[in-house]
Amino acid sequence: MISRLTDPRLFKSILAGFVSFTVALLIFFNINAILNPRASYPASLKKAPTILSTSSATEEMPGANERCSQLPGADDVLVVVKTGATALRERLPVHFQTTLQCIPHYVIFSDMEEEFQGHHIHDVLSGVSARMKECAPEFKFYRDLHENHDRVTEFMRKNAHFQQDAWHLDKWKFVPLVERALLAKPDAKWFIFIEADTFLVWSNLLKWLAQLEWTRPYFLGLPVTMEGQLFAYGGAGWLLSRPAIQRMTQHMASQNDNYEEFTNKTSYGDLILGHVLEQAGIGLTGGWPLIQRETPSTMEHTEDLWCYPIVTFHHIDAPDIKSIWHLEQNWIADALTPLLHFDIFNNLINPLLSTKIDDWDNFSDGEEKALTADEGFEDCKRICEADVQCMQFRFTPRKCTISHSIILGWKADSSMNSISGWMIERISRAKASVQCQRERWISTD
């Protein structure tokens, strides 16, 4: 499933006439989509590859198992999904088919009020002051979007810059998102905020929250510092306890105009929220490695994080969501322990590793060694073998780069002449040595 190989059995069946030519083509493309889903991703998009898929794109997803829909603590949590009208049509349906089946209380906020596949989508920007909607440049896109309420798809097709415009508008959503979340479920103890390309391991989230005291003003997330401000990276998801939101809204009651002005001159919505929470006296507790900004394919898999549970991934597309969803559902049904990073690696990443993959970038970013024009992939492999900690390497003409961590990576443009390899025996030994004897959660105690 690593390289785009031709299955001889398939061609024999075609040539033998066991199936019609049309049906054979359909079978070929369906099998290839499952066995080699990454091949269709243009390298220029720098999109993470789809990982192991257990079903075809047309297969209907199974419902949530009984344990998933009856997990302890579920009624105490509100899941808040932040999206936009130009993105939700592509990104939300898979969540309705998977994770949201397990979650009893969730609300979806966007930049336009609408009904979508039987779900009400709330306009989180409706409360922004009329003055700011007139003077802030990002709201031109908001007005255009609302004028094309009934033909959003056509609007996107005619507006070549809609993704960039939607991203600029997005910064205005973060602060009102938190305020509206409390109104949506004022009795919730916890509020988790995710984006439409975030995967939430719901069962693990509830186990994590059970370790924490919700009456404290918690702000949990993946720490990032930019422009001197510490904040939680938005795409990875962040959590607030009810007391934290209450303190923030009380703080903002007399200063909303000031924060609108601050938002107007600041580029990043998650930075803006971090600033507001800090001003309200609420500090950030780091949630890494439970909370991730990467996908399973792009993150560094190292032994020091394998025994930690996983709560979120970011930049996840629909096929990968289905893959992780299947794994989580099986885990909930069969195991009482949380789903660990090691389980993700062992089930979804390790089967895809190989001694050699052409036109592949595994993100090796450690020691770099210049090669001669006559040296090639095997010479690069020997460099990795000489370093007892080397787990993988990447060869490009005249250069060899090795790495002590394990990353799957993604398909590279053929013009790069990038060939990746992994030290399979060393990885197997590392896996065999893992013993996760206790649950490792993040706590401030």
Convert the pLDDT of each residue in 99-152 to its tens digit.
Answer: 999 999 999 999 999 999 999 999 999 999 999 999 999 999 999 999 988 888
- Single-letter residue type at 242: R
pTM: 0.84
What pLDDT is stored for residue 445 in this prediction?
Answer: 63
Tell me: the pLDDT tens digits for 393-441? 999 999 999 999 999 999 999 999 999 999 999 999 999 999 998 889 9
The per-residue pLDDT of the chain, averaged, comes to: 86
SS3 string, 55-96, reads CCCCCCCCCCCCCHHHCCCHHHEEEEEECCCCCHHHHHHHHH
- 254 class by beta-carbon count within 10 Å (0-12 exposed, 13-18 middle, 19+ buried): exposed
pLDDT at residue 28 in the model: 35
Average of per-residue pLDDT across 68-89: 94
Query: Nearest CA to 221 among 282, 153, 134, 300?
Result: 282
Does 353-431 match 46-352 at the fold level?
no
The number of residues making up the chain comes to 445
- Coil, strand, or helix at residue 361? strand
Residue 151: what pLDDT? 86
Residues of the chain with pLDDT > 70, as a percent, come to 85
Long-range contacts of the stretch 312-315 (C-beta < 8 A, 24+):
312/194, 312/198, 312/199, 312/200, 312/201, 312/236, 312/237, 313/198, 313/199, 314/195, 314/197, 314/198, 314/199, 314/235, 314/236, 314/237, 315/47, 315/48, 315/197, 315/235
Domain ranges across the chain: 8-35, 46-352, 353-431
Give 166's contacts (C-beta < 8 A, 6+ positions apart).
84, 86, 87, 111, 141
Dihedral pair phi/psi, residue 431, rounded to 5°: -60, -45
Q: Which CATH number fits domain 46-352: 3.90.550.50, 3.50.40.10, 3.30.1360.30, 3.40.50.720?
A: 3.90.550.50
pLDDT at 7: 41
In the structure, what pLDDT confidence band is assigned to residue 46 with cuts at 50, 70 and 90?
Answer: very low
Task: Give how far Cα 124 sits from Cα of 82, 155, 229, Å.
Answer: 9, 21, 24
Q: Which one of 1.20.140, 3.50.4, 1.20.1070, 3.40.50 gives the CATH number of domain 353-431?
A: 3.50.4
